[in-house]
Amino acid sequence: MYHQRLYRPVSPKSVISGPRVVVVSFPWRAESPYLFLADLLRILDPIASEITLIDGNTAEVALPSNKINTRDIGIRLHYLKEIKPTLYSALQWVLKCVAAQLLTSIELIRTRTDTDVVLFYMAYPQFLVPLLVATFMKKKTIEVVTRGRFDSFSAKIARLQDPLFFTLLSGISPETEAVSKEFELQKYSYKVLPTGSRFVDAVKYAAKTELGERDNVVGYLGRLRPEKGVMNLVTAALTMHDEGSEIEFAIAGDGALREEIDKKTGLDKRITTLGWIPKQLVPDYLNSLKLLILPTELEALPTVLLEAMACGTPVLTTEVGGALDLVKDEDTGFILTDNSPQSIRANIVRVLEHPHLEAITVKARRVVEQQYSYAAAVARYRRILALEAGYG
């Protein structure tokens, strides 16, 4: 999928030292982007000679070494519902987005003599101005396309920028092949790089409890938002209990639907809502499940699927985004053809009664070890930078 090109000559010193990489992200309000950023910096650490992170929440990022410089633009976005009235909140959000792009561009200009490659990570679609600046400075630019398409009005407007983004960029690294297809990157095949997937710590995320020793608990872990399909899962759970099923359900996460889910499940003691689970406790939670469900309508590369697969927990997910690259039905996991309550209910039964369930989890774990380990991620990004910047 990625392009082949003639490499420009590089000196032995350059090959040894590696490129000087500036990572440009966006000051999102959510926590997860900063966890992913920390993973990216850990991947780049043995590859780059110097790394600079430009963001508005650099204090939130765990830095793997003193090789990494941070340039904080002093802006952090907010959730629209945090500020009232909504119109004022939206106006303030837009102004922050504009300011973030301008301040990021200023920091890029300040680092111009110490930069070989500008890597845009989790900045989509708010990185047009920094991209224009980096292009004007004749720097190599790469975007790691990490998220799927949204269907909201604002997202549709944002997509109008895509042809300009992809034309200006030196290289494009889709997080998964499915994301590449979703963004129709075949139009830019001459600049598409290897996939920029993250990694899972396969030591931290491992099967501590054998599948056969776990209770029949079906779980969900993620944001409680409409596009995640979690309300359909709750409806399916309530229906199964009305029909006499003894399967228990655990809903972990937080978000806009938390209150509605609590009200709907309040009288059913076999459905537990856990709120947000600290990252260090996630392996234990996944080891408590007989099945993890992700009935989402929109996804890029679902980290929770990788983590569950590493923990020996069967996964059931919809056919969206990077899930298609991870999960093959009745091979490395199970696929929902749709996320309706009826489909979820039927597939829960199919999974829990599958005669080769443990063998499927063993194969899924092997996929994580071979393709999504830290070593595999470093090799991917080494290849990405070698192709685009001429460094090996």
Over residues 46-104, the pLDDT tens digits come to 999 999 999 998 999 999 999 999 999 999 999 887 889 989 999 999 999 999 999 99
Nearest to 375 by CA among 11, 120, 51, 46: 46
Distance CA 333, CA 317 (A): 8
Say whether both 184 and 298 belong to one domain. Answer: no
Say whether both 218 and 151 belong to one domain. Answer: no
Q: Indicate whether 365 belongs to any domain.
A: yes
Say whether both 242 and 121 belong to one domain. Answer: no
Taking CA atoms, 7 is separated from 2, 14, 138, in Å, by: 14, 13, 17
**Bridge partner list, 120:** 24, 143
Q: Indicate whether 342 belongs to any domain.
A: yes
Residue carrying the six token digits 């029949």? 216
Q: Indicate whether 204 belongs to any domain.
A: no
Positions of E strands within 200-264: 217-221, 248-252
Say whether both 162 and 83 belong to one domain. Answer: yes
Q: 217 φ, ψ to 5°? A: -115, 125
Q: Which two tokens stand for residue 104?
A: 């990021």
- Taking 3-state DSSP, the helix, strand and coil percentages for the chain, each rounded to the nearest 5, stand at 45, 15, 40
Quote the pTM value: 0.86
C-beta atoms surrounding 194 within 10 Å? 18
Contacts of 50 (CB under 8 A, 6+ apart): 20, 21, 67, 69, 114
Taking CA atoms, 353 is separated from 345, 350, 356, in Å, by: 13, 5, 9
pLDDT of residue 155: 66
Residue carrying the six token digits 């997937």? 197
- Give the torsion sign (CA, 111, 113, 114, 117): positive
Structural domains in the chain (count):
2
Q: Indicate whether 137 belongs to any domain.
A: yes
Contacts of 239 (CB under 8 A, 6+ apart): 341, 345
Say whether both 244 and 276 belong to one domain. Answer: yes
Q: Which two tokens stand for residue 133?
A: 């600046």
Q: Indicate whether 319 belongs to any domain.
A: yes
Nearest to 32 by CA among 278, 324, 218: 278
Q: Indicate whether 7 belongs to any domain.
A: no
CA 278 remoteness from chain centre: 17
Say whether both 35 and 72 belong to one domain. Answer: yes
Residue 79 lies in domain: 12-199+373-389
C-beta atoms surrounding 94 within 10 Å? 11
Q: Indicate whether 314 belongs to any domain.
A: yes
Query: Are 198 and 217 within 8 A, CB to CB?
Result: no
Distance CA 16, CA 72 (A): 29
Say whether both 169 and 219 belong to one domain. Answer: no
Residue carrying the six token digits 């301008």? 102
Nearest to 236 by CA among 273, 214, 264, 260: 264
Say whether both 377 and 351 belong to one domain. Answer: no
Say whether both 364 and 383 belong to one domain. Answer: no
Say whether both 302 and 281 belong to one domain. Answer: yes
CA angle 41, 43, 45 (to 5 degrees): 65
Positions of E strands within 204-362: 217-221, 248-252, 271-275, 291-294, 315-318, 334-336
Q: Indicate whether 6 belongs to any domain.
A: no
- Domain of 296, CATH number, reads 3.40.50.2000
pLDDT of residue 5: 40
Say whether both 125 and 183 belong to one domain. Answer: yes
C-beta atoms surrounding 279 within 10 Å? 12
Distance CA 188, CA 78 (A): 34
Say whether both 18 and 163 belong to one domain. Answer: yes
**β pairing state of 217-221 and 171-174:** unpaired
pLDDT < 50 stretches in the chain: 1-16, 392
